[in-house]
């Protein structure tokens, strides 16, 4: 894309009057250069679709927590946009242990120290973690 072709669709980029996004385009000499953009309709649409999918998945996980299929750890992991390896690293556990902690019966027997590690990783209180979905 050439510098003069960089989209400037201000209505599609939240806060476009205050914040601009840096993209790279080809200048008149054929070299890449940074160019500010106010946004792009196609990018905005794709981002909205992606967030809608995340929110839908999160609602499904919340329902599974309420039904007793999963523990609150599964919900908060997803809400914080974490995956199993990342969460395991944050709480200092093996992945198989974190996966096991996503079972409600196992979760209910976790010691306070372990619950605190999860709460810290999710930036919630232990009480909020324990009471979610009840």
Q: What is the pLDDT of residue 44?
A: 77
Q: What is the pLDDT of residue 18?
A: 63
Q: What is the pLDDT of residue 14?
A: 56
Q: What is the pLDDT of residue 123?
A: 97
Q: Which CATH class is domain 49-131?
A: mainly alpha
Q: What secondary structure letter does DSSP report for 37?
A: E
* Tokens standing for residue 64: 């599974």
Q: What is the pLDDT of residue 8?
A: 75
Q: For the chain, what are the domain ranges?
A: 3-39, 49-131
Q: What is the pLDDT of residue 77?
A: 97
33 strand-pairing partners: 25
36 strand-pairing partners: 22
* Tokens standing for residue 95: 């992945």
List the chain pLDDT tens, one digit each, 134 residues: 787 777 777 665 555 566 677 888 888 888 999 888 877 777 778 888 998 999 999 999 999 999 999 999 999 999 999 999 999 999 999 999 999 999 999 999 999 999 999 999 999 999 999 999 88
Which residues contact residue 4 at a Cβ distance below 8 angstroms, ignoring those fewer than 6 apart?
none
Q: What is the pLDDT of residue 1?
A: 79
């Amino acid at each position: 894309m050439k510098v003069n072709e960089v989209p400037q669709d201000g209505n599609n980029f939240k806060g476009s009057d205050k914040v601009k996004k840096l993209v790279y385009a080809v200048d008149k000499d054929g070299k890449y250069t940074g160019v500010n953009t106010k946004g792009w309709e196609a990018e905005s649409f794709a981002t909205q679709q992606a967030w809608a999918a995340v929110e839908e998945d999160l609602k499904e996980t919340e329902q599974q927590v309420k039904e007793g299929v999963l523990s609150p750890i599964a919900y908060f992991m997803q809400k914080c946009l974490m995956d199993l390896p990342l969460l395991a690293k944050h709480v200092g556990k093996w992945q198989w242990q974190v996966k096991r902690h996503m079972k409600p019966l196992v979760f209910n027997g976790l010691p306070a120290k372990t619950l605190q590690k999860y709460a810290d990783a999710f930036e919630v209180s232990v009480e909020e973690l324990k009471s979610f979905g009840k």
